[in-house]
Structure 1
Amino acid sequence: MKKVYYGLLSFFFVGLVSCTKDEPQSSLEGRIDVKVSTDQTLLGEASRSGEEKTIPDINDFGLTIESLDGKVFNSWESFSEFRPVSVAIGTYTVTASYGDVEAEGFDAISYQGSTNVEVRKEETAEASVTCIINKAKVSINYTDEFKSYFTSYSSYISSSKGNKVTFSANESQGAYFVPGSLGVYLEVTRQGVSQKVTLNPKNFTAEAKHEYRLTMDVDASTASLKITFNDNPSSEQNVEINISDEALNADPPVFTPYGFTSGNTLEVLEGAAFTEKLEAYLNAPAGLAKCELVTNSASLKEQGWPESVDLMNLTTEQSQKMTALGLQTKGLGVNHDKIALIDFQQLVPNLTCTSENNEVHTFTLRATDALTKVSEELKLVIETRNNGFAVELPETVPYASTSVTFTLTLEGDVSKVKFYYDLSDTGVYQPFDAEKVQITSDNTKHTVTLTYPESLTDTEHDVKLKAELGIKVIEKSFKIEAPELTLSLKNGDADVWATKAYLQVEASAKSRASRTISSSTVEIQYKEGGEWKAWPNQSYNEETGLFLLTKMGEGATETEGVSYTLRAVYKRGEEIVSISDELNVTTEAKAQVGNAGFEDWSHSTITAYGSTGGWIDIPYPGRKDINVFYPYENKENQWWDTRNTYTTQSLADASWMYAMFPGTVPLSESATWGASQHLNEHDNQSLSTGPHGDNNAAEISTVGWGKNNWTDLGHGTQYRTAGCLFIGTYDLENNRENLGHVFNSRPDYIQFYYRFYSYNGESAKAYAILYDIEKREIGEGVILIGESTNEYKLGEIPINYIENKKASYITIVFLSSSSDNPATKDVQGSDGAFDGYGDSRHIGSILTVDDVELIYE
């Protein structure tokens, strides 16, 4: 230490003792250099002569450098060890300190200071830290009148940290205290007074970097004690107290303990219920003014219990906290008088051990009455015997376990332990119901089995367990082992159909030798409610190594499949020995195609002109309006299309109905446009023209069209085209069908109802194709219809899937003829030559279809 002496005439002093360390600058991003100085001044300090001031050596200061987020970059116990340091660019807090910041007493001076410094690239930033005295200094003096009035005297100061610093009668130096509440106490003896009296004449709040001087004086003429605060007689903080013989002889406050002896240690078991009386009765004949409680308890401090309080002036927060932890008081509220009661009984179970050792909790009570007389201290000392509360969990539990068994150590009532769980690492704990907790005990060792509300299957998160005994909490966790069996979809979602699913079961590497996968050892189960049941329709294919579940999807709709939670269990006899992870699957919807009953139609009109002698585009009595039919009402919701725009093109050299005709028409328009109706009227046929269901169906006929001439010499036609109704859109510019509509299910077959009129021995054709996302075929089916029928029959197109992939598109195609060169019959209408035989037509095979349905089996 380095000592510096100052003269009597000095009014105040600012000591700037500094030391700067330096070294050559490095090439790193930046550096910090530090200069430390001290400021010795105290607010309220008196000028003194002959008093020694001690300034600590700067090299004895400690140093810390922190980043702004509070992380310590580096620290030095002695500034002498510090050298400029290289750091990344940014802002840092540099703190210098000296002494123990928590100590109180005559030699407990301490200093602290900090500053922020900005470090720039390739520069040295200098942090200048000025350290101030971070405590309050208090001194007590006595006047000659005071000394002559009392035969003996001394004083002490009690701090909010529970410390007691005694000032003897001849003590002149000041003591240092942590900022907070301080109580000043006098212990005096006067001739004629039967015993030593303790007075509490002054309480105040001390601040850092302040000096407080208290001068004790007596006015014998009025028998009053006067305290001058900081040499200022006019200060509002100065007090006067009655110290007459009558007042000094009055009985001081007295504590009477019940259930304990002051200063003796009372031993209790941690967490155990305490049923004995444990009270302090307080009697203050002169009236209560203050009741201090100083607590020394590590566990209570952790829980927010105040170290030092006046029980008569608690804040709302203090009152709520202390009441919640079990302290009860009477007579210390707003309407206090002369007696009070402090009850510690319910506090005892909340006294815990913060380490593996026993722990001592000390409660010191001291009361002051209206005459400032102070009671003798009453000390309640409780030693909590560690109950050994501990939990030893297994590191892991088998996959799909429903319970965990572990050892709990406790000296005491184990039934008071409460258990909680967190299965998904949410931080939110749920309590175990009482019936889910089983405990068997052997002295202080207890075997606990906790049953969870569901199987433990989440291998990604630890299972968290919390055990509570009063306010003592233990939190631990364990892991779930990987399952011995793995249940999966070998081809992903493609293995799940509308009514079936293919499942792969594999044994883990460590269990493969003892787990042979077969239909006799493995069973696929599904969860119904909270119960697992065997899937009733399952089989195993040894060649593919896959399990097949059938008859799924009951309750599926056209837009939604059915979800299942599945698992595989390995059985030995009827006993389950291994369980796989859970697999959630959703079947495909039992989707249907749009406008499957062909009820929705629309049309546009083309007007054609002609004459008997050739092709002219002028108004003429033989003018015909030709309808182009579309199997949809709204093109934005279109499923089906036809070749109608191809065979009914508005050709410049075409005329008459027989030259422009739609091959596919709705039966609701059959009276005018139906091929069957035309044959009935002009070819002596008796073909049915009604729908199978509801109001409509699609009649698909082979037509002749294009430039032609109808005369008595010949009825030729330029083109013959089979009627075609298909899912997709027709590309008129390139004269081709664009097959397919978005579709995500895979039917087993497609059924529909049909009538057929075969011309020239030709067959009709119906086929379907399913495509994947890249428009590659994954399934197809085709049938030929060769036999004419005038009644509706059921047609079926079975789908053969050539690849196990998810469907993305579907098409269904109906052709009136499977021939590449279909034949037509020229059938003259009722219009005569003058009208150009305008309603004459070329008609081939006719296929009528209705009520298309996709079947899922």
Structure 2
Amino acid sequence: MKTIRMNKNYLMLLALVALGLSACRSDERTPSGGGYLAVRVAADNEVVSAASRAEGDGIPDVGDFSLSIAKENGELVSKWDKFSDYDAEATVVPVGTYTVSASYGDATTEGFDGLSYAGSTTANVAEGETTDVTIDCTINKARVSISYTDAFKSYFTSYSAYVSSSRGNKIDYTADETRAAYFTPGNLDVYLNVTRPGVSGSVALKVKTLAAEVKHEYRLTMDVDAGTSTLNIIFNDDPESTQNVEFNISDAALNAPAPTIVAHGFTSGEAMEVVEGGSVEGTLQAYLNAPSGLASCELVTSSAALKAQGWPEKVDLMALSAEDQQKLTELGLVMKGLGSTHDKIATVEFQNVVPYLYCTGDGNEEHSFTLTATDVYGKTTETPLVLNVTSRNNGFAVTLPESVPYGSNTMSFTMNLEGDASKVKFYYYNLGAFQLFTSENVSISSEGTTHIVTLTYPDPLIDTESDVKFKAEYGSKTIEKTFKVEDPELTLSLKNGDVDVWATKAYVKVEASAKSRASRTISSSTVEIQYKDGEVWKVWPNQSYDSEKGLFLLTGMGEGATDTNGVAYTLRAAYKRSGEVVTYSGELPITTEAKTQIPNSGFDDWYTDSKEQWSVGLLKNIKWFFYYPFQQGDEGHWWSTNNERAQAWTVAPVYVTTCPAVIYTYDTRTGEGKAAEIHTSGSGGEYASTSTSMYPESAFAGSIFIGSYSWSDKSEHKSLGHSFNTRPLGLSFWYKYKPYKTDAFKVLVEVKSGETVIAAGEYVPEAYSSEDLEYQQHTISLEYTNSLLKATSISVQFLSTNKTSFTENDLQKNGTLTLTDCADSWNAHFGSFLKIDDVELIYE
């Protein structure tokens, strides 16, 4: 672009010019705490254009400019309507930094007389000194001129133009107008009104949209190529400019009708009433038809509710920003044929917008949508389509109780609503945000427009210090309120939640409220815990108080608990004075943990399997035997063994055969069922046993345990534990041990919460050499190192020996021992034998 410079006009008012320097003033004329400003104003009417042209409007006399001095914070210090009235010598300005501004004309006026200038600069005033200030003022508007070629003038019988600005002004350019008009920065729409023989009446053509910038000139030249019936709009005298525009101005094009919009599902201009938050059946569709092709589709919306949700008040549906596109779609508007591939036909559907219309006040509320379409020639819909919707106030309101009892899990309230109450969403506040109540925790009984709602909270309401936050949503309407939790004189609670309740015991906390704490001391002599037996309250028989922890311990619970269910109790605390009860706490419901036992703990469920393999290394005709401590097909089994690796091998006449380290034996203790038999296994599944060779480096302790096991590629894959959500206090089992020479078996128990071990126990008897003639019973106590975590898994391991490495002295050679319970009575290398039966978890 080329910069065009016009005439400049200067005026300088200098204080004490004749003296030359402010220092020449007499001391008595030197201001105290201030100084002077010698101001010069320069006005320049340069504009940015494509090529030079004749000089435009002259520059006003700078003496007619206004002048102002303001502090850095914008506070006005002084102002002169005319710069010529400014007396630099007489104007003392306090020491400081200022913005000095000059202007001419009204910065908001648009039109042929809208020329205006503005400029400003910063000045620092020092005490007793004169500061020189120069303000350069430039045109602060865009300049637009329109001209016509002779070919244009001869093609039309009459013509004129007008410019519509973003400020809503319309400036008319008559056919003989040669002046330029001035506009504030923003979009400018340029229209031509033309008349031609053979065309019915005057036609308005929208020929150009300018993104007008300050200090820029825009010259539009209207030209016609009669041979091709083409209108050419030449931009800034540049025939090659990419901003030039061409229009088909044939008689057929000029006679084409303006776009039409037809309503489907409603009558344009007539209001339809819909209950707030409700919906409509069928479609509310606007059908657009522009024979000359759509150029724009303006939607003007009047709706306080939609505005509050971010819906734009005025928008061109064919030139949407990404943000407006997302918001309109989000709020239900469906548009077809208005995108980048638009042509002549389009539809706009409003039916999905209706549920987002709500009343911002107490009465009914009106919403209107006005659609106007414009074609590529600027022809606009003669009658805009108007969709009017009246939202009938649904009376959505809730009346919450002032408070709920301490420890309540529920809150009931009255809700008024003309509509489907099941569509209301309810929220509670937790972890710094509102959480949605699930449908299972919402109960509604309705009679007409009145509904009784009961909400069940996930945890008891016990915070007496803070308000309980509540939120309800219906459609786009939201209600937020609060209520309180009563502060009772005495409260009974679980200090750490459900983790304080075990299978046979519970820890409970009793507190006096702040207003009664001084007169009420909590102790075993002043408080007793009671439970509800039917409709009668009784004192819990086994209770004690730990003054250091501030907790009551209730024992002897859980009678009647099963593997899957605990026992429910309703408790309360009673405060006594001189042996007489003076007040009670609220009720506290608790449920003990179940007394879950480990499945197949008597080891009665087994199945066996075998497989044949032609060769393993140098060995031929291998036959494997497997014993599984669960029923065949049980994918959820608890017990596993290390049998896949721990196999005792022997060379038989036909096969090299194996006997696994863990098998079953028949229960000689009770005479019924089976028991697990675990061996320290000789060759470990890697070498065959013979009467003369042993491989102690491949011996293993037989093991049966809770978990899973596999052996592949000479690698052991073992996972301990099974999901389990109760906390036993111990584990009991029966055993019978036959050590080889001197040996001891090993038992390990762990209870975990996630990956954290919360309790563990171990039993390794003193090593002994004599065989147990009868089954023995032992109980391992579980000590909980973390009682604030619930159990998630349990693991139990039985090992035939606590040895981890072996020599030949630890194993019996082939032929010295026969396993009558193993297939075909094996002779192989074995160490100690351990029999386990009737494993039981202890809960008290």
Q: Which of the five TM-score ranges fits, normalised by the shorter chain?
A: 0.3 to 0.5
Structure 2 length-normalised TM: 0.47
Question: Which structure has the larger Rg over C-alpha atoms?
Answer: 1
Structure 1 length-normalised TM: 0.46
